[in-house]
Structure 1
Amino acid sequence: MRTAAVLARHELRLLVSLLRWLARRPDSGGDGKGSVQVFGYAQGQGAVMAGFWFVCAVETFAMAVLLRNWPTAHRVVLVLDLYTLLFVAGLYAAWTVRPHLLHDDVLRVRQAAHVDLRVPLDRIAAVRRETRTTHERADGELNLPVGSRTTVTLQLTAPIAHFTLLGRRRDVTLIRLHADDDRALADAVTRARSGSSVRPDRPR
């Protein structure tokens, strides 16, 4: 029952994200407390998701034709296919309207509708630009690739709790994420941490 409720909330966030995307109103915090810096991570994914959505649409049409003589199966499969189309659109919308946010003393690391992790700036020991395309699962590490790629690495001074979509807790001390402008994100986090214009580590 609890799992069903969690998944239902996730689906609702996808739907809200789709509505925000259509209305061109991204979720940029909205708490009105101080300035907020926004860092997107979905650039270049539009064509990929559009292609995937098109394939799903073709499959929906094909199944409708194949099952036209079996009304019950046709209706069931049609509902599932239409839901898939809505899900794909909502997923891309969530990537677009739920960017990473830097405000006050917190960096909010996000990914679509299923990750929104608040990282206190005083927990960040180092930030560096680092492009990686392979990510092996390891204890204490959280990898949030987009298109199989991460471009910014955060090393923490102490573990923070990350909860998966289904509520399982993981304590992480290293976070890898993607940002369209990784230099801007790394610079902004470094300035916010130090209160100076010291630049972050150079990419390897």
Structure 2
Amino acid sequence: MRVADLVLGIWGVTWMLGLLCAYLLRPHTVGPDGIRVRHGLEIDLAFSWDDIASVGRKRRVHEPKSPRFDVADASRTLVYRMQDETDIEIEIELERPIVVRLPGGGANGGQQAITGVRIWVDGPRAFRDEVRKHL
């Protein structure tokens, strides 16, 4: 029994370290092509500067488990939270929603139409300063 517990414990620690590395090595990025929103190994969404209308900081506490959609009026926002909150909201205003592919399949093969994204970044001021260079 102890051997099984040891194996499960080692596997669990290895999995947690892998998950931590996925978040540390694949952060959200801002560059000349636009903003890339990443969430672990499964999510990598690229938004070009033509797609992004504005980027603003709106602190929201107690966001639901991520990923989740926040639907209000005609908008559908994809929410990626960290420790029950987000601190940057990327608002994408288009004539038509952007279709993104999310893991897990489900309806439409995992494809969902969104009009905005809310994410957590470690340095919101630096993130916004970099965005200002391009918007």
TM-score by length of 1: 0.54
Q: Which has the higher helix share?
A: 1
The higher radius of gyration belongs to 1
Counterpart Cα distance in 1 of 2:12 and 2:29: 29
Q: Which residue of 1 aligns with 2:27?
A: 99
Q: Which has the higher strand share?
A: 2
Give deviations 1:107-154, integer Å, cap 9, x for gaps.
Answer: 111122121110111111111011111225424211111112211101
- Correspondences of 1:69-84 after superposition (within 5 Å): 74-75=3-4, 77-84=5-12
Asked if 2 retains the 8 angstrom alpha-carbon contact of 1:119 and 1:160, the reply is no
| Aligned-pair Cα RMSD in Å | 1.8
- Correspondences of 1:140-151 after superposition (within 5 Å): 140-151=76-87
Q: 1:81 to 1:163 in 2, by over 3 A?
A: farther
- Structure 2 residues not aligned, in runs of 5+: none
User: Identity of aligned pairs, percent?
Assistant: 28
Give deviations 1:37-58, integer Å, cap 9, x for gaps.
Answer: xxxxxxxxxxxxxxxxxxxxxx
Residue 131 of structure 2 corresponds to residue 189 of structure 1: yes
Counterpart Cα distance in 2 of 1:113 and 1:103: 20
- Structure 1 residues not aligned, in runs of 5+: 1-66, 69-73, 194-204
Counterpart Cα distance in 2 of 1:124 and 1:190: 12
Alignment: residue pair count? 121
